Amino acid sequence: MEKNTTREERSVAGLFSELTREMSSLVRHEVALAKAEISEKAHEATTGVTSLAVGGMVTFASILVLLASAVFALAQVVQMWLSALIVGVVVMIVGVIMLQIGRSHLKAKNLVPRRTVETVRKDKSFAREHIRST
C-alpha cells in the first residue's frame, strides 16, 4: 500500500514539476511576444509623432503664406493676393490632413499589444481547464 501512495505522490510531484516548467516557459514566451509587440507599437507611435510634427510644420507654413497673402492684398488689392490665398488654403488643408493622420496613429487603442493580450487570455483559459480536468 505504501508503494502505491509513494508512486502517486511522485507522479503528482512530477506533474507539478512539469507544470512549473511549462508555466515558466509560457511566461518567457509571453514576455518575448510582449517585447516584440511593444517594439512594433513604439514604431507606430514614432510614425504618428513624425506625422504630427510634419503636419504642424506644414500648417505653420500655410499660416505664413496666408499672412503673406494679407500683405499682398493690402499692397496690391488684386490678383497677387488671390493666388497667395489659394496656395495658403491648399497648404493648410494638407497640414490638417497630416495632423489627422498623426492623431489617428496615436490613439490608445492602436498602442495596445492585442496579440499578447489575446494569448494571455487563451493561456489563462487553458490553465483553468487543465486545472479543472486534473
| Domain span including residue 7 | 2-117
Q: Tell me the pLDDT tens digit for each residue of 92-128.
A: 898 899 999 888 888 766 667 777 777 878 777 777 7
Above 60 in pLDDT, residue 3? no
Cβ proximity of 45 and 53 under 8 Å: no
2, pLDDT greater than 60: no
Q: 22, 4, 30, 5: which is closest to 131 by C-alpha?
A: 22
| Chain Cα centroid distance, residue 106 | 7
Structural domain includes residue 98:
yes
Q: Is residue 23 part of a domain?
A: yes
Q: Which CA distances in Å does 107 have to 7, 17, 33, 113? A: 56, 43, 21, 13
- The pair phi, psi for residue 78, each rounded to 5°, is -130, -120
Q: Which pLDDT band holds residue 10 (cuts at 50, 70, 90)? A: low
Q: Is 37 domain-assigned?
A: yes
In this prediction, residue 74 carries a pLDDT of 62
Q: Does residue 123 fall inside a structural domain?
A: no
Between the CA atoms of 84, 90, 91 and 93, what dihedral angle is there, to the nearest 10 degrees? 140
Q: Is residue 18 part of a domain?
A: yes
User: How many structural domains is the chain composed of?
Assistant: 1
Q: Do the domain assignments include residue 36? A: yes
Count the neighbouring beta carbons within 10 Å of the beta carbon of residue 72: 18
In a domain, 66, yes or no: yes
**pLDDT confidence of residue 77:** 59
pLDDT, tens digit, 9 for 90 and up, residues 36-67: 888 888 888 888 889 999 999 999 898 888 87
Answer yes or no: is pLDDT of 12 > 70.
yes
CA 46 to chain centre: 10
Residue 122 forms part of a structural domain: no
